[in-house]
Amino acid sequence: MPRSPRRSHRRRATIVDVARVSGVSKSTVANVINGSAPFSDETRDRVLAAIDELGYRPNALARDLKRRRTATIGVIVGDLSNPFFGELTRLIERYAGRAGYATIICDTDGGDASERDKLGVLLEHRVAGVLLLKFSGDKTQIAEVERDGIPIVGVSVLDRGFDCVASDDAKGARLAVAHLADLGHERIAYVPSVDTEPSTTNARLRGWKQGLERAGLPRAPVVAIEAPRGGRRVSTLGAVLDAPDPPTAYVAGNDLTALDLIDQLESAGFGVPKDASVIGFDDIAFAGLRRLSLTTIRQPIGDLAKRGVSRLLERVDGADEGEASLVRVRLPVELIERGTTAPPP
């Protein structure tokens, strides 16, 4: 915890200083600042001049304490170093800022304990709402948030416990499988990303299975290329490649995983897309690089951010009072065909 002393700051001017200098009362100053009550032009000018002269800045702590409501939202993100989440977070912060909200961002590093701790921090700071870009699935951690009436919106996260704005993950995975099946692939494996949020992984896995069914293809293996944190039972890439009939195509849980997979495949002597096709999910900027040229399912990241923020603020402002129903937005995804998919060998 932070420890004591202070340095010699010139004490910041307070609303009382402004009142004194402009020769009016605190309330009048507050009125011109917030437009909360009428005031004369002359008063306004005097107050504004005093504010300027003193370099006055309202103290958000005092304001929020008194109002019993902050203009700050909290964001829980699993991994900021994944460009998809970096970009998503950036956009969220931008939209929130435009609406007058500050953003406290917490990276949980994928850890559940960390997620709980960070939510606690947000609670202590009395955030007006929480955006979950990662959710461990532990309901007890968010029960306290909801008990306080603090709205939660999942962004790129699916859960029946709170409002969600997500891409149509199942559809995306079906699109991926269909594309591969059209190309003639019959053994299409799924490669989950350990970093992806569990509910999202499930939706994509489901879409993959559905896609396989619709194409009349047999169930192919789920392949791990990273140390599984959650412990999902899967085959490892090495074992899969050594098998008599290795998959000819892979649907990856996200672009990062797809890129990693391509690395491992090529290191093992499998050409992509010559010997195996790979398709990602997200369409991060890097996927468009010629050397990578990753075929992938594009998420509408801008809409995700915009609608996530606006839904949260709607609830924060109580605009939907009475309407108790949970909103579940599914945004359309899009197949971006590039160079990592081709007909099977």
DSSP assignment, residue 195?
T
Nearer to DNA, 39 or 286 (CB): 39
- In order, the DSSP letters of 38-85 are ---HHHHHHHHHHHHHHT----HHHHHHHHT--SEEEEEES-TTSHHH
Residue 298 and residue 283: Cα distance in Å, rounded?
Answer: 5
How many residues contact a second copy, by CB under 8 A? 79
Shortest distance, position 101 Cβ to DNA, whole Å? 15
Q: How far is CA 154 from CA 34, 151, 165, 331, in A?
A: 32, 10, 6, 13
- Give burial (CB, 10 Å; 0-12/13-18/19+) of 111: middle
Nearer to a second copy, 16 or 285 (CB): 285
Q: Where are the beta strands (DSSP E) in 268-343?
A: 277-282, 296-298, 328-331, 334-336
Nearer to DNA, 16 or 289 (CB): 16
Shortest distance, position 324 Cβ to DNA, whole Å? 25
Query: Do 191 and 167 form a contact (C-beta atoms < 8 A)?
Result: no
Shortest distance, position 332 Cβ to a second copy, whole Å? 22
Tell me if 313 contacts a second copy by CB under 8 A. yes
Binding mask 113-152 for a second copy (x = CB under 8 A): ----xx-xx-xxxx-x---------------x--xxxx--
Q: Which does 305 bind (CB under 5 to 8 A by kind): a second copy, DNA, none?
A: none
Tell me if 59 contacts a second copy by CB under 8 A. yes
Q: Which does 321 bind (CB under 5 to 8 A by kind): a second copy, DNA, none?
A: a second copy
Residue 177 C-beta-side C-alpha neighbours within 13 Å: 30
Q: Which does 141 bind (CB under 5 to 8 A by kind): DNA, a second copy, none?
A: none
Tell me if 52 contacts a second copy by CB under 8 A. no
DSSP assignment, residue 129?
E
| Token couple for 62 | 């005092």
Shortest distance, position 59 Cβ to DNA, whole Å? 3
Binding mask 230-269 for a second copy (x = CB under 8 A): -----------------------------x--xx--xx--
Q: How far is CA 234 from CA 119, 193, 230, 309, in A?
A: 31, 12, 11, 36
Q: What residues contact residue 11 under an 8 Å CB cut-off, 6+ apart?
A: none
Q: Which does 40 bind (CB under 5 to 8 A by kind): a second copy, DNA, none?
A: DNA
Q: Where are the beta strands (DSSP E) in the chain?
A: 72-77, 102-107, 129-132, 152-155, 163-167, 188-191, 223-224, 235-236, 249-252, 277-282, 296-298, 328-331, 334-336
Q: Which does 3 bind (CB under 5 to 8 A by kind): a second copy, DNA, none?
A: a second copy
Nearer to DNA, 20 or 94 (CB): 20
DSSP assignment, residue 9?
P
Binding mask 81-100 for a second copy (x = CB under 8 A): xxx-xxx-xx--xx--x-xx
Q: Which does 292 bind (CB under 5 to 8 A by kind): DNA, a second copy, none?
A: a second copy
SS3 310: helix
Nearer to DNA, 71 or 217 (CB): 71
Nearer to DNA, 10 or 160 (CB): 10
Nearer to DNA, 27 or 81 (CB): 27
Shortest distance, position 122 Cβ to a second copy, whole Å? 8
Backbone φ and ψ for 103, nearest 5 degrees, come out as: -125, 125
Q: Which does 285 bind (CB under 5 to 8 A by kind): a second copy, DNA, none?
A: a second copy
Q: Which does 161 bind (CB under 5 to 8 A by kind): DNA, a second copy, none?
A: none
- In order, the DSSP letters of 155-167 are ES---TTSEEEEE
Q: Which residues bind DNA (CB under 7 A)?
A: 11-12, 14-16, 23-28, 30-31, 33-34, 36-40, 42-43, 56-59, 62-63, 65-68
